[in-house]
């Protein structure tokens, strides 16, 4: 698959994941699919910038339990920052962002696994 098509599929899958998590009422709310698409793009952009800044400061997110906790906190901060840029997306504070980040990770894993089982994603 070409890089552009892979990117488009990844953004659509991320938007679907955001819509699913939004419907679970776990601290994240997205108004509609267009807002979810925009939110997926903004989250990807903010995440790239935050990870780049952490790398530039020499902070690496390691593995294990501590790495997972740090990654979860970074994901929650990314959601809170993205909330400021997307009109149809709201995050219910830091606690809601943590719960939403966990839910996004789980739902994303399930959707990716399901698409892999169907042979749609490698």
Neighbours of 29 (CB within 10 A): 19
The per-residue pLDDT for range 94-106, each reduced to its tens digit, is 999 999 999 988 8
Percent of all residues in the chain with a pLDDT value above 90, rounded to a whole number: 25
Cα–Cα distance, 109 to 122 (Å, whole number): 13
Lowest mean pLDDT among 30-34, 43-47, 87-91: 43-47
Model confidence at 28, pLDDT cuts 50, 70, 90, reads very high
The per-residue pLDDT for range 70-98, each reduced to its tens digit, is 888 888 998 998 899 899 899 999 999 99
**Whole-structure pTM value:** 0.81
Residues pairing with 89 in the sheet:
30
């Amino acid at each position: 698959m070409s890089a552009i098509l892979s990117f488009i599929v990844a953004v659509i899958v991320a938007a679907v994941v955001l819509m699913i998590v939004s419907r679970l009422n776990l601290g994240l709310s997205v108004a509609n699919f267009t807002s979810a698409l925009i939110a997926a793009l903004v989250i990807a952009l903010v995440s790239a910038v935050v990870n780049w800044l952490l790398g530039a400061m020499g902070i690496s997110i390691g593995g294990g339990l501590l790495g997972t906790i740090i990654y979860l906190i970074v994901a929650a901060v990314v959601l809170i920052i993205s909330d400021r840029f997307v009109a149809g997306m709201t995050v219910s504070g830091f606690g809601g962002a943590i719960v939403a980040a966990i839910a996004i990770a789980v739902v994303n894993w399930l959707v990716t696994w399901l698409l892999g089982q169907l042979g749609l994603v490698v």
